[in-house]
Structure 1
Amino acid sequence: MASHRKSRPTGARVAGIRTPALATAALTSVALLSQTANATPSADDKPSLEEVEKKVDDLYRQAESATEKYNAAKEKTAKQRKQVDTLLDDVAQRTQKLNEAREELGSYAAAQYRTGASAPDTATFLLADSPQDYFDQTQLMGRLTSRQKDAVDDYFTQQSATMEKRQEATESLETLTESQSDLKTAKATVQKKLADARELLSQLTAEEKARLAAIEKKKQEEAERKAAELARQQAEEERQRQEAAAQQEETGSGSSTDTGTGTETGSGTSAPDSSYATKAEKALAFSRAQIGKPYVWGATGPDSYDCSGLTQGAWKAAGVSLPRTTYDQVNAGTTVSLAAAQPGDLVFFYDDVTHVGIYIGNGMMIHAPKPGAYVREESIYYDGESSIHSVVRPA
């Protein structure tokens, strides 16, 4: 006899009970979701401290580059604003003179009308494009006095010059608007880079911040070691130069390398004369007085500085006018070798020349380092030897 027993449903057994396939799938999904929720993030997902440090340093460098572009745009905008204001003042003065000339011509027209001269001719004259256009159409020339003819010529001359100046002012205003837009963009770029850097640093734990400080300290110690090495090298070259000079004096060879503006050093680069040393000391005195003041991008003192604002202010105190940005300051003087660097020289950094400090001797400089830091003395190797771009003697 055939069995009447119903076939058992297929499915998995849970706690001794068989469940339908759909329920099995649901339970499996719940289990997977639970495992995902309870799983801890992989350590590989979090950047290492070294990666964070590099990213922050890169952001600060990008911010400094954007700051120099901001400085350039700001300086350009200020110059253009001054030029526009001058043009607008000129146009206003010319317009006033033009109105006065028009009034004088109007008085001549009224006089002609009173004496019976043709009023329509006068109106035609005032609307003419040039004196010759009118004279070709009428016989007014014969009726005008010498003074009246001069007034006519003067009117059209002033009218033409005023129109040219108005056009020039319009074009300058358009250029100014573009510069203001560039300035706004540069400012936004700086703010974004700095905000990103602050965000990265805020995510560090206290332990990570301590480790980062230890890394920075190690870098600083290495930078100071390199500075001491450069100081020894410079001292040795100076000693050799003095010995050579003494020997020349003893032998009376007369082959002095003194050019009148400096003395040849062992590296073949002219050393600064006493005039430069005097100016450099003034620049250094100014720089030392700013130590402890905060770095603020775009600042030129007196309460805060960015890097090029500090060097510009320092040499201004010595009576030397430097451009505003690092891009221009690097060309405002004579390039010398690092071994021949003297106090007062400007040391530039990075391939894109976005940072500068003022050399104080012995491999050290005074500079405004970066946002969040203060003007300070530091080794010129603070970011590694390869970061040094050039040394420039500004006076």
Structure 2
Amino acid sequence: MLTTAAAGALALSAAAVAQAAPGTPGAPAAPPRQPSEQDVGQQVDALYAQAEAATERYDGARERLRTLRTEAADLQDRLARGQDAVNRMLDDLGQVAGAEYRSGGIDPGVQLMLSSDPAHYLDGAAVVDRLAAQQADALREVAARQRALAQQRAEADARLAELERVRSALARDKRQIQDRLGRARALLGTLSAAQRARLAADDARGAELRAGRGAGRTALAALPAPADNRAAAAVAAATSALGSPYFFGAAGPRAFDCSGLTSWAWAKAGVALPRTSQGQAGAGRRVPLADARPGDLVIYYGDMHHVGMYVGGGTIIHAPYPGARVRYERVDTMPVAAVVRV
């Protein structure tokens, strides 16, 4: 049974295979012992747990990447529009300065003596003073806008630098997921087709039995109804996904990872949840496990890398790991880190 084995198998190396005891000196070494189905199941389960933790990091990085791209594009658009406005203001000021230069910059006292209408000139001088004050205001505004643009450039540069860091993290997590899944496939490949089928069947049967015990041996269809309409819609959506395959990074409607299932189900109820199990751990109010209601999120493991949805009767529905399908499970099959009411 793979899920139960995960809690105790994380320290196992995927390559750890017991060796036969050496014979007498000079005798040929005994061939390595073929790993049993149980050995392979524990090691594969450990690899799946590591892959799932990397998947949650991958989902978070992918979501952050989308946010950063939007923010960076918005900042760059604001920068372009702000720079255009500053350029127009500078152009206007340049035209005024050019006109003054072409007029010769005659001293105001000389202009008064040469004027045939001193009163008219004095009226004009007042206008010039007002224009000069307006130019000073315009210069101050240009300087303020340039300072704002410099700050926006710094913010845009910071977003772009984070964008590159997140891209690198995304690629690293994807490589780790592919590595763990590849090693798991290789381990499963050491078993015969009949052994692999038996291992999968035992795992599914064990989950079904555990779910039945969690529900107090009542039919799962008779589990208590959620307390409110939103939770009812989320539970209905999650149960409609029963039997769907697990796939890393998937959030429905045909395949899911663990947080993809819960975020998709609650989205059907009109509620937007964070994309990762760690994010969903902070998406609502914490409640004791004993007070869990249908629709609550159950977060598992110390690093909170797995999540399921409580459906009542001591049972959750979740997307377990690669190779398994969305199914019911007893709520305490894995170590519970938190229960969150959305």
Category of TM-score, reference length = shorter chain: 0.7 to 0.9
Correspondence for 1:162 among 131, 134, 149:
149
The answer to whether structure 1 residue 379 and structure 2 residue 321 are counterparts is no
Amino acid across the alignment from 1:80? L
Deviation per CA, 1:43-66: give whole Å up to 9, x if none.
3xx333212111100111111100
Q: 2:187 aligns to what?
A: 200
Within 2, Cα distance between the matches of 1:214 and 1:70? 30
The answer to whether structure 1 residue 361 and structure 2 residue 312 are counterparts is yes
Within 2, Cα distance between the matches of 1:389 and 1:172? 33
TM-score by length of 1: 0.66
Contact 1:230/1:363, CA 8 A, preserved across alignment: no
Within 2, Cα distance between the matches of 1:354 and 1:91? 39
Contact 2:318/2:329, CA 8 A, preserved across alignment: no
Q: 1:209 to 1:155 in 2, by over 3 A?
A: closer
Correspondence for 2:92 among 78, 99, 104:
104
Q: RCO (CA 8 Å, sep 6+): is it higher in 1 or 2?
A: 2
Amino acid across the alignment from 1:388? V
Q: 1:311 aligns to what?
A: 262
Q: 1:111 to 1:58 in 2, by over 3 A?
A: same
Q: What is the 5 A alignment of 1:21-100?
A: 41-43=31-33, 46-100=34-88
Unaligned runs of at least 5 residues, structure 1 = 1-32, 119-140, 239-271
Q: What SS is found at the alignment partner of 2:228?
A: helix
Amino acid across the alignment from 1:77? L
Correspondence for 2:242 among 288, 291, 298:
291
Contact 2:215/2:312, CA 8 A, preserved across alignment: no
Q: What is the 5 A alignment of 1:196-275?
A: 196-213=183-200, 215-216=202-203, 219-220=206-207, 222-224=209-211, 226-229=213-216
Q: 1:174 to 1:386 in 2, by over 3 A?
A: closer
Following superposition, the deviation at residue 210 of structure 1 comes to 4.6
Q: 1:389 aligns to what?
A: 337
**Between 316-325 and 84-93, the greater mean CA deviation after superposition:** 316-325
Contact 2:47/2:184, CA 8 A, preserved across alignment: yes
Q: 1:351 aligns to what?
A: 302
TM-score by length of 2: 0.76
Within 1, Cα distance between the matches of 2:253 and 2:58? 19
Following superposition, the deviation at residue 380 of structure 1 comes to 2.1
Q: 1:103 to 1:203 in 2, by over 3 A?
A: same
Amino acid across the alignment from 2:75? L
Amino acid across the alignment from 1:160? R
Q: 1:304 to 1:80 in 2, by over 3 A?
A: same
Deviation per CA, 1:115-171: give whole Å up to 9, x if none.
1139xxxxxxxxxxxxxxxxxxxxxx9896233222222222222222222122112
Q: 2:166 aligns to what?
A: 179
Q: 2:16 aligns to what?
A: none
Within 2, Cα distance between the matches of 1:42 and 1:157? 75
Within 2, Cα distance between the matches of 1:203 and 1:164? 59
Q: What SS is found at the alignment partner of 1:145?
A: helix
Amino acid across the alignment from 1:41? P
Within 1, Cα distance between the matches of 2:151 and 2:334? 53
How many residue pairs match? The answer is 294
The answer to whether structure 1 residue 325 and structure 2 residue 276 are counterparts is yes
Following superposition, the deviation at residue 106 of structure 1 comes to 1.5
Q: 1:231 to 1:341 in 2, by over 3 A?
A: farther
Within 2, Cα distance between the matches of 1:175 and 1:314? 31
Q: Which has the larger radius of gyration?
A: 1
Following superposition, the deviation at residue 312 of structure 1 comes to 1.2
Following superposition, the deviation at residue 42 of structure 1 comes to 4.0
The answer to whether structure 1 residue 280 and structure 2 residue 231 are counterparts is yes
**Between 106-115 and 337-346, the greater mean CA deviation after superposition:** 337-346
Deviation per CA, 1:50-92: give whole Å up to 9, x if none.
1211110011111110011111112222222222111111110
Deviation per CA, 1:178-201: give whole Å up to 9, x if none.
121111111111111111111111
Percent identical pairs in the alignment equals 40
Amino acid across the alignment from 2:31? P
Within 1, Cα distance between the matches of 2:339 and 2:130? 75
